[in-house]
Structure 1
Amino acid sequence: MKKRFIPSLLLAALLAGNAQAEIVSDSLRTTIYYRTASARLELPYMDNDRHLAALGDSIRSLGGDPAVVLRRILIQASASPDGNTKYNKELARKRGEDLRDYLKDNLSLPDSIFALQPQGEGWSELAEKLGRTDAPWRDKAIAIIRDTPEWVVREGKVVDGRKRQLMNLAGGRAWQYMKENLFDSLRSGALVVCEVERIERVMPEPETAQAELKPAPEQAADNTNNTQTADTESTATLYNGKEEETTLPENGAKESAEKKPFYMAVKTNLLYDAALVPNVGLEYYFGKGWSIGGDWMYAWWSKDAKHRYWRIYGGELEVRKYFGSKAAEKPLQGHHVGVYAQGLTYDFETGGKGYLSDFNYAVGVEYGYSLPVAKRLNIDFGIGVGYSGGKYKLYEPEDGCYVYKETKRRRWFGPTKAEISLVWLLGRGNENSKKGGTK
């Protein structure tokens, strides 16, 4: 029975001396929104506070109605297909549990009334949104979502999958389009569906009931408008329980809410290590493919008797942008480009002429690829081209002393950086799915 007939039916029930009860099923729904990669419920975000406040108002105003019974609150939590599949499924589960706990604690609802259905990645919603676009590859993408399993397994090994095919569609342009235009709208997080049973009072004589219902259209129309407004703002539910005040906290988040994922890496350049220059670096990912990193090197080897010196220390700062299908799966992997700045001091001598610099610098651009090889291990390949400048002194050992010869200026444009780095992944959620990064 549509909601606009409820006031008329209740009026008929009051006027009738004898009536029989009939159960009518109904449902209402509301959507709660979350920030990207977060399971934390934020009341001010996307009008969540207004949606939940309207939900509470409906419970308080209609909870005492004996003709209305709330049978179940179904929470369908999801995440966008962008990113790591395992992490997205866990994120959807945490969102559903966090929202359930909030509703239970703040609206005085029993545990038995809740049912969680983590949806994982929102593939059906993505297909629906793709159907409303005019992209030339639209039909192929929808067919992949509909017909390709999440994982394609042969002889116990994952060889292909739905996400991989979508990433390769149209040379990667399809996935990039979905990232830029569709995925954000799939990050709503949780759909709350309230399943309601209403008691319909039916008159024993249809003619009498029909006569009593005649004056109700105006009232029913008003009720329809009110119901549509409630559906628009929160689509709140009904609950046959206590009529008591419930206060929604301002922060809207539990102390135990899940923290956001954290992506960081510790690395060492194996080429420098092979040249007996120990080095260590840190890289921090701050979102949307961007990261910032720093490296430090230090070596102080010398053999005075043979006039051999190998002394160098300095560092580098770099900003990177990751891109491509691997980067879409998880941060800190795949293709990357960046800009960097270096500064160092050195003193090199191998038994003859020596080179001493108090400070040299370099700036340039780099390209590289970070390859997943284990759960928390990548190999990062890179090459940089730029300008190197600074002054250095030439000296030679003579009669037990080091004799200064001349000062020169370095002006060099070309390769200034080479990298084969071993990368350890740190942080929550910063794990490769399996060796080689295949999902």
Structure 2
Amino acid sequence: MLRTIISQWTGNAPVRFWFLLLGLTILTAPVSAQELRITFPAGSADLRPDYRDNARAFAMLDSLVERHGASLVDSVIVVTKSSPEGRFGLNASLAERRSRSILRYLSDRYPAVADRVSLRPEGEAWDEFRLQVLADTTVSALSRERALSIIDSGLAPDLKERLLHQFPEYGHYLRDFFPEIRLAIILVFDRLTVILQTVDLGEVETAGEMPLPMSLGPVALRPDVLHVPALHPYRPLFAVSTNLLYDLGGLVRPMSWTPNVSLEIPFGQRWSLYAEYDFPWWISSGNDRAWQVLKWDLGARWWFSRHDASDPMDVLRGHFLGLDLGAGYYDIEPQHTGYQGEFQLVGLEYGYAFRLAERWRLDVNVGAGWMATHYRHYTGTADDAHLLYQNSGRLRWVGPVKAGVSLKYIFTRKNRRGGR
């Protein structure tokens, strides 16, 4: 019946014209996918409907699929992003885990559309962050332009983030901007939308090949804007540290204070060499007690993580293993009786260095190995003016040989090559 009516109407030339005009109007109408945004807590890939505005986004997704029907959903594109703070590689991995969380949710809740989901983990959301900074009216124009210059620069993402971290506005970004861009953008295309988009472009496309509406091209740096400074105008030469465990011993007993200093030189991507010198040389006024040690250590450390070659100060941090060689002399007399001797040791150490600031580190390490000593046991005379040797011997020990909590400062020199 309907076919007959249409045939009669379209047999008339004016009617055919109006049908053609209506078709062209439909085909040239603007096309847009249904877009939903779901946000994640910092460092997390867990879907939490109770987080921020997620409850409304999940409700809209349910309503959208139910309104179209699973059979009319042509494709779903999931774009996941992470905020720029932290290491670029970890953020890229986090974006991938977020995309898989969305896929599991869609597959469990809407099995009929699971095979039409396309994942696009994009890593750090610099494009979204740029839009936020561009629209930010809470900071001065100079601060905004300075931040945009860094965002639009060709520096590595980790370098850009560290530069921004030095700005007073970084806390504002961390608090107000970054929670909004730890997100998944879900684009739902129905059958009609895909057909219209394909005809409008004049070529056959799949939904997975369509350009995303939030894509943002690079913006050229303005010459009158503050140029991006060198991230690190200095490069590391060596680090000097002191073992706080030895230093704090003096708070318990003044004569237990063990002055010490260590020198460490980083080289290559994962190596450093160090030398340590311990030099307590205390003797009581009554000559009845002594705490005298001279100890030298030489060692090499292998760091688990390569430092960022484009960031000269990204050294001496993270997990490390070390080989330690040591030797020294001691004279320890708790009260009228004591031991003198020489010792040698070989050991392995494991530790972790916390990056407190650009030039400051806190090392925590323990070591075990082999130690040998030739000792002489003595007692003092009544007035402790002379030592009476009682016996001597040799001792070998396998077990713990060192422990440390060291505060370290990195000395630098000016980096002549600088930055752009």
Q: TM-score, normalised by structure 1?
A: 0.41
Q: Which of the pair has more CA radius of gyration?
A: 2
> Which gives a bigger RCO, structure 1 or 2 (Cα 8 Å, sep 6+)?
1
Q: TM-score, normalised by structure 2?
A: 0.43
